[in-house]
A and B are shown apart, each in its own frame.
Chain A
């Protein structure tokens, strides 16, 4: 393997991976702590003949990438909490119109302007429920640069596979940390391209009729099939409808194409779970801390294990239930007031054994913070 190792920021890793996945169109708006993604895209994209757009806000950024996706390009935008809030309506459009795209949220402290230069994991539920109405969504995350590379590529692959927007939940800490990353050669990680229809010109093409395998072949805007795309409930040609049967079918399709493939979408890492009495569950930057605690306690012979989630939505409830089946207690480590912890409580058989170890003051959660919570759980005081 002739890998190239670089010592770069997480935000730069994200750009490298997006280009590796075939991205050639990016639009964004400056916002801390994601701006390095736009800056690096602006530098890299013209070199490969790709397009970079700095738009007037985050709303137009996500709108324009959807437009570019419709003409057949792999697209992405990147932002942080406030910009992610602005994008929510259009995110729902991408869900409804089934437009492949990747939205990166480099999380910072919120609500509102919050803590622009400090890390947080407060947008987990926003990623799930930020846009209105019932819908399914895919959200991925990563704790280190090597995984961030893989998860970014996966985000593009899943966007194409399921014809859907995919959210990549980064955080300020992952985004701004510099650490070595091996940049894989082309071909090392599989890339899923746009599935285009084979229906010839002049023959009725149904942009919204799933194949037997559930996938929906697309036709580029500017190509031989002229069809309609709308955020309204629509029929298999993309035209608005109020037919109850069609509406029922579409909302179920939009949910099922993601939820019924949760097992294919689920990504995770596990450490020492086979005999763990205490299971830590974490993700993103917090998983670095959790892994440190587990490693150090294991050296002392304590039976701790870590389940690191790399896909948060659809929530891998079955995986969590299975991995926690023999745990005496479960500790969710995250940098918010408790988000994934609620999903874990819903997933496991004995939710009263689920505890939260968090930190929300803008500082990175430390092993000492986690150990303090563990002492409390054991009734040993702080």
Chain B
């Protein structure tokens, strides 16, 4: 495969459960990197803690496996200190939006050229299936044996409100879109958020009687639609996929370089 060279093959088979969507995300993210012919020595992958975070160990980039929720904070230091590097932050939903929520919104606001990928499986998988801020209400989890009463975040709305300049969403079923949106995000000169709905058959699917991995993927096909589609107008419950925002705004590192210029000339 063309993506072999980006993988640390000695660590495969990977740690993820059978049918975990995270593997499909890794698969198609590497295709985006390959299509852009990015230089591995200039790629940094920064992850937090959880199932999602193990992705950084499998890619042959500079890889930093940090603390729960803190991936973007570490990434900010890397990018700010060495703006020529391409920085990708894959995160889980609890990682990015519960413990890491504050870093997430501030990274969106700052608009530093970092690509955040939220692998949203609506559950804490690594710790055994506790509900997350993305689970939403009516979900069975190990910490919600009588079903959740919590409302969920909408990651794309949150990202848009916080000022991210590229925001997209797709699912592990729509693999072509994974590659396409990550490719767009990597090329976008600003903070990018790509939310990818990712199935967790082990903890989310099993407890909520959604079937096995193929069944869960079929639900992504049924329950989602392109942004602004007719289907959405007929059925507001459908989750929209696509690019929600793609606009150019002052990028933080470029602005700081300007500031240095100003100070040194002034």
Residues of A participating in the B interface, judged by any CB pair closer than 8 Å:
25, 27, 46-47, 49, 51, 53, 55-57, 59-60, 63-73, 75, 89-90, 93, 220-224, 226-232, 239-240
Chain B residue nearest to A64 (CB atoms) is B77
Least distance between B180 CB and chain A CB atoms (Å): 26
Q: Which residues of A contact B264 (CB under 8 A)?
A: 46-47, 49
Among A57, A59, A67, A93, the one with the most B-chain Cβ atoms within 10 Å of its Cβ is A67
Give CA–CA (A90, B63) in the complex, Å.
17
Within residues 221 to 266 of chain B, which ones have a CB less than 8 A from any CB in chain A? 256, 259-260, 263-264
Question: Are A226 and B76 in contact (CB-based, < 8 A)?
Answer: no
Question: Are A68 and B66 in contact (CB-based, < 8 A)?
Answer: no
Answer whether A231 and B82 are a contact pair too, CB < 8 Å, given A226-B41, A226-B62: no
Among A72, A221, A232, the one with the most B-chain Cβ atoms within 10 Å of its Cβ is A221
Cβ-Cβ contact count across A and B, 8 Å cutoff: 127
Pull 6 A–B residue pairs with CB atoms less than 8 Å apart, ordered by A: A67-B74, A67-B76, A89-B67, A221-B44, A226-B60, A230-B57
Give CA–CA (A70, B66) in the complex, Å.
12
B56 at the interface (CB under 8 A from A): yes
B85 at the interface (CB under 8 A from A): yes
Chain A residue nearest to B104 (CB atoms) is A56
Of B40, B62, B70, which one neighbours A221 at CB under 8 angstroms? B62
Q: Which residues of A contact B210 (CB under 8 A)?
A: none
Give CA–CA (A230, B54) in the complex, Å.
10
Give CA–CA (A47, B265) in the complex, Å.
9
Give CA–CA (A221, B40) in the complex, Å.
11
Q: Which residues of A contact B215 (CB under 8 A)?
A: none
Of A59, A67, A73, A228, which one neighbours B57 at CB under 8 angstroms? A228
Question: Are B77 and A63 in contact (CB-based, < 8 A)?
Answer: yes
Least distance between B162 CB and chain A CB atoms (Å): 11
Question: Are B81 and A93 in contact (CB-based, < 8 A)?
Answer: no
* Per-position binary interface string of chain B over residues 53-85, scored 1 when its CB falls under 8 Å from any chain A CB and 0 otherwise: 000110011111111001011111111111011
Question: Are B61 and A226 in contact (CB-based, < 8 A)?
Answer: yes
Number of B positions contacting A (CB below 8 A)? 38
Least distance between B46 CB and chain A CB atoms (Å): 7
Q: Which residues of B contact A71 (CB under 8 A)?
A: 78, 81-82, 85
Give CA–CA (A89, B102) in the complex, Å.
17
Give CA–CA (A64, B110) in the complex, Å.
14
Q: Which residues of B contact A240 (CB under 8 A)?
A: 57, 65
* Per-position binary interface string of chain B over residues 177-212, scored 1 when its CB falls under 8 Å from any chain A CB and 0 otherwise: 000000000000000000000000000000000000
Q: Which residues of B contact A70 (CB under 8 A)?
A: 62, 64, 78
Question: Are B70 and A90 in contact (CB-based, < 8 A)?
Answer: yes
Least distance between A64 CB and chain B CB atoms (Å): 3
Q: Which residues of A contact B11 (CB under 8 A)?
A: 239
Question: Are A231 and B77 in contact (CB-based, < 8 A)?
Answer: no
11 extra interface residue pairs, beta carbon distance < 8 Å, beyond A67-B76, A93-B66, A228-B64: A56-B102, A57-B102, A63-B77, A64-B74, A67-B80, A71-B85, A222-B44, A222-B82, A224-B41, A226-B63, A230-B65
Of B62, B80, B256, which one neighbours A68 at CB under 8 angstroms? B80
Give CA–CA (A240, B11) in the complex, Å.
10
Give CA–CA (A71, B86) in the complex, Å.
13
Least distance between A71 CB and chain B CB atoms (Å): 4
Give CA–CA (A226, B56) in the complex, Å.
12
Of B62, B70, B85, B260, which one neighbours A49 at CB under 8 angstroms? B260
Question: Are A221 and B57 in contact (CB-based, < 8 A)?
Answer: no
Least distance between B252 CB and chain A CB atoms (Å): 9
Give CA–CA (A152, B103) in the complex, Å.
29
* 7 interchain residue pairs of minimum CB distance: A67-B77, A64-B77, A63-B73, A60-B73, A68-B81, A230-B65, A67-B78
